[in-house]
């Protein structure tokens, strides 16, 4: 059955199953911790604006701000996505980074784990990208990836908002 989110994003359930399968092939189970969000990368600015408007009926915005030189909107979904990782409560919509070519569509999921060093120690044969340490581990699964954090995105957003760390999207960004 095609839902409204499926029509906008492709099939998130199939994406989650593909991520779980790719993780298993890399040597990781899907039950390491809760997956707190998926990220969808827009094709271009027009696609971002179209999706931002259409996604408004599917969730409440937690924040929209500039990260890595482009806007990212995070929504708390009215109905969490279901799949092998359990309920996924949030969706990130990322505009493309200026001057970079990237995969558009569902691109990554993020899993909350208690301890990144313990995760690495428990799975020494897994080729994690450690460039984001101490805050993040990444498992590249081209064209996708799974990222691991110790704090949920919703909690990180709440902290950043409370501390005034959110960088607003410039009024003229979409020109």
Tokens standing for 142?
């081209």
Q: How many CA atoms lie within 13 A of 1 on its CB side?
A: 2
pLDDT in tens, 27-51: 999 999 999 999 999 999 999 999 9
According to the model, what pLDDT value does residue 165 have? 97
Domain 4-21+32-162: give its CATH superfamily: 2,3-Dihydroxybiphenyl 1,2-Dioxygenase, domain 1 (3.10.180.10)
Reported pTM: 0.93
Angle at 128 between CA 126 and CA 129, to 5 degrees: 160
Please compute the mean of the pLDDT values over residues 87-98 and round it to a whole number.
Answer: 96
Mean pLDDT of the chain: 95
- The helix/strand/coil state of 16 is helix
How many C-beta neighbours within 10 Å does residue 87 have?
A: 13
Question: Can you tell me the mean pLDDT for 137-164?
Answer: 96
Task: Measure Cα distances from 59 to 31, 34, 115, 172 in Å.
Answer: 25, 19, 29, 25
Beta strands in the chain (DSSP E): 35-41, 59-67, 70-81, 88-94, 105-112, 137-141, 144-149
pLDDT at 100: 79
- Going by pLDDT thresholds of 50, 70 and 90, the confidence category of residue 4 is confident
Are the CB atoms for 106 and 15 separated by under 8 Å?
yes
């Amino acid at each position: 059955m095609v839902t409204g989110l499926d029509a906008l994003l492709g099939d998130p359930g199939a994406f989650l199953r593909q991520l779980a399968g790719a993780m298993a092939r890399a040597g990781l189970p899907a039950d390491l911790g809760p997956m707190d969000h998926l990220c969808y990368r827009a094709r271009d600015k027009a696609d971002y604006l179209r999706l931002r408007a259409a996604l408004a009926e599917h969730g409440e915005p937690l924040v929209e701000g500039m990260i890595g030189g482009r806007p990212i909107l995070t929504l708390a979904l009215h109905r969490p996505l279901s799949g092998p990782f359990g309920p996924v409560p949030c969706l990130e919509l990322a505009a493309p980074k200026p001057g970079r070519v990237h995969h558009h569509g569902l691109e990554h999921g993020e899993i909350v784990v208690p301890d990144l060093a313990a995760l690495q120690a428990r799975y020494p044969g897994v080729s994690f990208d450690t460039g984001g340490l101490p805050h993040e581990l990444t498992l590249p699964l081209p064209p996708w990836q799974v990222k691991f954090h110790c704090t949920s995105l919703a909690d990180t957003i709440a902290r950043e908002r409370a501390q005034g760390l959110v960088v607003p999207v410039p009024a003229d960004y979409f020109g």
